């Protein structure tokens, strides 16, 4: 359990920045608390300069820290697995004793802690994360709650133990375990019901659980009171192991219905849904073993999945991937096709649910037709359903799969016209397919026009790059670039009179976002991308003026500062200092860390300009202004290179 990083010097020369570069700010913060609260005991130093100590956490750990050629190493018997808070605490305890003029005790060669570290290296990680325990406060430490690191007995040793017992001893042992554990007792009682044929007792118990979970008034925000399906899962597994598959299926629909209602009500971040999903997985494992015919099984699975609103039947692949005959698939296809006329869909956004339901049925019917060897029925069905439910993308994919690009283009045009205003995601995917067709044809002229339309619709750096790529291959980039920049400045779409070199743009779909011209933030992004600091500064100053002298929004100011630091460093310094002030004003450690990041940039630029004195004054002024913020003082000392010993 060691970690290697690179602070600048030996332990005595460490700065807070060095320590955080080694361990991270969170670990350093916790390590400081450990050291301050006296968790480090019996600190000693070896003849080679290594530190070793006991550190009290959720149990007593042995921690060792070494410095070698500017690198820090740590080892600890805790299970954290990386540079831990115990190691940080040891370093700080050492520096604290040095500051106080104390002599560090010399560790003997036979110190038992070295053997403890070696023994820990031979053990496997036991699964405990010491950082889970909030034991920073001495008053909250209770030895009776110590986590011991005993490893569970292996399966072979457990079996050997059981085999060494007599029948009478095993009965006594199992009886004792049943008295100690409700779950064990429940499991044994279920097995009794299986053995004596009273299976319906288990089925009734499952139904009772489902009813109680649905009726009982719970606090929907208190996770401790959520329905607990572990007993239901145990009962289903017992039925499965006993071969009672029809009985499992008989409760499957009730389980899904009740589970859906509960997931809608409870606020548990998905844990309840996962528990119900495990139960439904047992139901689907039982399904192919039931007395239903293969077609009836597939219909049951289809209906259940269509009724599943919250992905409770999340893993049904093992059922659908089983071997089935073409006749079985054909039977399913006929049943699903017969249902389609019953699924009425009104035109418009308001009937999305009905359209989705019909589309789900038709998709399953298409797979059934494929598996049944009735592929000639698929395209006619896709054509019909495209206009019924807006499933143009599916139709286009099948047309391209069947090598019919001309008809695919026709349906792409129809689909874009039908969905562009209400379902822009569908029209965007259709455009991608059209672009693939154009690529296959080598039509970079057409692709450039398509990408330019997307750029004019929603200008951003990404659509600029895509347009650039196509226009260069088409041989028209310079003209296209000029027209695109003019659009960003004026908002006027290009045409032949303004130098547009390609076919007419045509109508541009409405944008998803409001635009005000000049579209400055994209103009800045493009200037940065093209490494043109003069243009960056030009648009930055315009944006700043429009904001009444205030600096531009964060997404632009950081980009601008990086782009200007070589040619216009004073503007970069202005931006970074603004960010530092805003970050410090947050008065929290994360804000101070952000400030440190930009202070380092300021230091680098000012030093390169020969302004070391101005930098030191700026840093000194910050310290005087915020002298009461101790955590910030540590960070400022780190930025200035001041050692921890000197702070």
pLDDT digits (tens, 9 = 90+) for 325-361: 999 999 999 999 999 998 887 765 556 778 888 999 9
Q: How confident is the model at residue 156 (pLDDT cuts 50, 70, 90)?
A: low
Q: Whole domain around residue 67: which residue ranges?
A: 11-144
3-state secondary structure of 111: coil
- Candidates 440, 396, 439; CA nearest to 414 is 396
Tokens 């956490």 -> residue:
57
Both 191 and 314 in one domain: the answer is yes
Residues, the chain, total? Answer: 647
Has residue 472 been placed in a domain? yes
Whether 639 is in a domain gets the answer yes
For residue 458, give both structure tokens: 């929603």
Alpha helices in 287-351 (DSSP H): 294-307, 317-320, 326-339
**Rounded to an integer, what distance in angstroms lies between the CA atom of residue 183 and that of residue 140?**
32
Hey, what are 247's tokens?
């009985």
Q: What angle do CA 77, 79, 84 make, to 5 degrees?
A: 80
Q: Say if residue 571 is in the same domain as residue 639.
A: yes
- Kindly tell me the burial class for residue 506, based on how many C-beta atoms sit within 10 Å of its own C-beta (0-12, 13-18, 19 or more): exposed
Of all residues in the chain, the percent with pLDDT exceeding 70 is: 87
Helix (H) or strand (E) holding 213: helix 199-215
Residues 578 and 595 in one domain: yes
3-class state of residue 66 by DSSP: strand
Mean pLDDT of 451-472: 95
> Is there a single domain that holds both residue 185 and residue 307?
yes
Tokens in use for 223?
A: 């996770």
Examine the domain organization and report whether 490 and 609 are in the same domain.
Answer: no
- pLDDT surpasses 80 at 142: no
The pLDDT score that the predictor gives to residue 147 is 33
- Rounded mean pLDDT, 233-258: 91
d(CA 219, CA 268) in angstroms, rounded, equals: 11
Given a cut of 70, is residue 136 above it in pLDDT? Answer: no
The answer to whether position 338 is within a domain reads no
Number of domains into which the chain is organized: 5
> Which residue among 470, 487, 517 closes a domain?
517
130 and 194 in a common domain? no
Same domain as 466, residue 404: no
Are 185 and 290 within one domain?
Answer: yes
Give the model's pLDDT for residue 515: 87
> DSSP character for 551?
P
Is residue 168 assigned to a domain?
no
Quick one: tokens of 111?
Answer: 């110190």
Q: Which long-range contacts (CB under 8 A, 24 or more apart) does 590-596 make?
A: 592/629, 592/631, 592/632, 592/635, 593/25, 593/635, 595/632, 595/635, 596/17, 596/635, 596/638, 596/639
Cross-sheet strand order for the sheet of 105-106:
71-76, 60-68, 51-56, 40-45, 105-106
- Please give the pLDDT value at position 606: 94
Residue among 350, 506, 349, 509 at smallest CA distance from 416: 509
Cβ contacts of 123 within 8 Å, gap of 6 or more: 149, 151
Dihedral angle, C-alpha 334, 285, 308, 229, nearest 10 °: 160
Coil, helix or strand at residue 340: helix
Q: Per the structure block, which two tokens stand in for 221?
A: 């925000």
Omega into 496 within 30° of 0, i.e. cis? Answer: no
268 shares its domain with 307: yes
- 8-state DSSP, 61: E
Q: What is the pLDDT of residue 347?
A: 62
Task: Give CA separation, 244 vs 194, 365, 370, 570, 644, in Å.
Answer: 9, 31, 33, 79, 70
Regarding whether 536 and 513 lie in a shared domain, the answer is no
As a whole number of angstroms, the longest Cα–Cα distance in the chain is: 100
Q: Over 60: is that where the pLDDT of 563 sits? A: yes
Considering 517, 551, 571, which residue would you say is the last residue of a domain? 517
What count of other Cβ atoms lies within 10 Å of the Cβ of residue 249? 20
- Give me the mean pLDDT over the 97-110 stretch: 92
The whole-chain average pLDDT of the chain stands at: 85
Q: CA-to-CA distance for 334 and 59, rounded, in angstroms? A: 67
The answer to pTM > 0.85 is: no
Say yes or no: 200 and 68 in one domain.
Answer: no
- What is the DSSP code (8-state) at residue 565? T
Nearest to 319, CA basis, from 280, 362, 365:
280
Q: Tell me which of 39-53, 110-124, 433-447, 582-596 is least confident.
A: 110-124
Contact predicate 179/185, CB 8 Å: yes
CA 393 from chain centre, in angstroms, equals: 29
Residue 346 lies in a domain: no
């Amino acid at each position: 359990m060691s970690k290697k990083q690179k602070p600048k010097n030996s332990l005595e020369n460490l700065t807070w920045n060095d320590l955080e570069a080694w361990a991270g700010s969170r670990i350093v913060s916790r390590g400081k608390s450990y050291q301050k609260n006296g968790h480090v005991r019996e600190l000693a130093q070896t003849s080679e300069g290594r530190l070793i100590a006991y550190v009290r956490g959720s149990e007593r750990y042995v921690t060792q820290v070494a410095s070698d050629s500017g690198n820090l190493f740590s080892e600890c018997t805790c299970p954290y697995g990386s540079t831990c808070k115990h190691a940080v605490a040891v370093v700080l305890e050492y520096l604290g004793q040095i500051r106080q003029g104390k002599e560090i005790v010399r560790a003997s060669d036979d110190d038992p802690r070295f053997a403890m570290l070696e023994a820990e290296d031979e053990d496997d990680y036991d699964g405990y994360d010491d950082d889970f325990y909030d034991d920073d406060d001495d008053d909250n430490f209770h030895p009776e709650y110590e986590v011991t690191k005993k490893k569970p007995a292996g399966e072979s040793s457990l079996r050997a133990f059981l085999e060494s017992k007599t029948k009478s001893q095993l009965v006594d042992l199992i009886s004792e375990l049943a008295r100690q554990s409700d779950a064990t007792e429940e499991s044994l009682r279920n097995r009794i019901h299986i053995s004596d044929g009273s299976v319906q007792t288990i089925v009734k118990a499952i139904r009772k659980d489902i009813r109680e979970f649905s009726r009982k008034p719970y606090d929907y925000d208190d996770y401790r009171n959520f329905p607990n399906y572990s007993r239901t899962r145990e009962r289903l597994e017992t039925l499965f192991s006993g071969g009672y598959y029809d009985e499992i299926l008989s409760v499957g629909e009730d389980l899904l219905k009740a589970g859906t209602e509960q997931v809608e009500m409870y606020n548990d971040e998905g844990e309840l849904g996962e528990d119900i999903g495990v139960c439904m997985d047992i139901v689907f494992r039982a399904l192919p073993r039931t007395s239903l015919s293969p077609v009836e099984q597939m219909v049951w699975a289809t209906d259940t999945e269509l009724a599943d609103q919250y992905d409770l039947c999340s893993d049904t692949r093992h059922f659908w991937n089983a071997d089935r005959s073409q006749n079985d698939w054909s039977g399913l296809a006929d049943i699903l096709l017969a249902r389609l006329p019953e699924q009425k869909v009104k035109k418009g956004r308001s009937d999305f649910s009905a359209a989705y339901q019909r589309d789900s049925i038709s998709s399953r019917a298409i797979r059934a037709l494929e598996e049944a060897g009735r592929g000639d029925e698929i395209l006619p069905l896709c054509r019909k359903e495209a206009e019924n439910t807006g499933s143009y993308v599916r139709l286009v994919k099948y047309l391209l799969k069947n090598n019919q690009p001309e008809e695919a283009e026709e349906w792409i045009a129809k689909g874009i016209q039908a969905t562009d205003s209400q379902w822009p995601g569908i029209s965007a995917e259709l455009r991608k397919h059209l672009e693939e067709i154009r690529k296959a044809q080598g039509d970079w002229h057409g692709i450039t026009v398509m990408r330019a339309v997307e750029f004019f619709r929603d200008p951003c750096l990404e659509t600029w790059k895509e347009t650039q790529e196509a226009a260069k291959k088409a041989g028209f980039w310079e003209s296209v670039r000029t027209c695109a920049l003019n659009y960003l400045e004026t908002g006027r779409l290009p045409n032949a009179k303004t130098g547009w070199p390609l076919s007419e743009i045509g109508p541009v779909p409405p944008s998803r976002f409001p635009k005000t011209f000049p579209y400055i933030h994209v103009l800045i992004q493009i200037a940065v991308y093209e490494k043109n600091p003069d243009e960056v500064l030009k648009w930055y100053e315009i944006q700043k003026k429009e904001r009444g002298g205030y600096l531009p929004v964060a997404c632009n100011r950081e980009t601008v500062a990086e782009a200007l630091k070589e040619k216009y460093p004073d503007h970069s310094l202005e931006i970074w200092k603004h960010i530092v002030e805003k970050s410090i004003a947050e008065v929290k450690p994360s804000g101070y860390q952000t400030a440190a990041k930009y202070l380092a940039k300021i230091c680098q630029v000012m030093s390169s300009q020969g302004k070391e004195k101005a930098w030191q004054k700026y840093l000194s002024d910050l310290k005087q202004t915020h002298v009461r913020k101790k955590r910030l003082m540590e960070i400022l000392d780190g930025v200035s290179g001041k050692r921890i010993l000197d702070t």
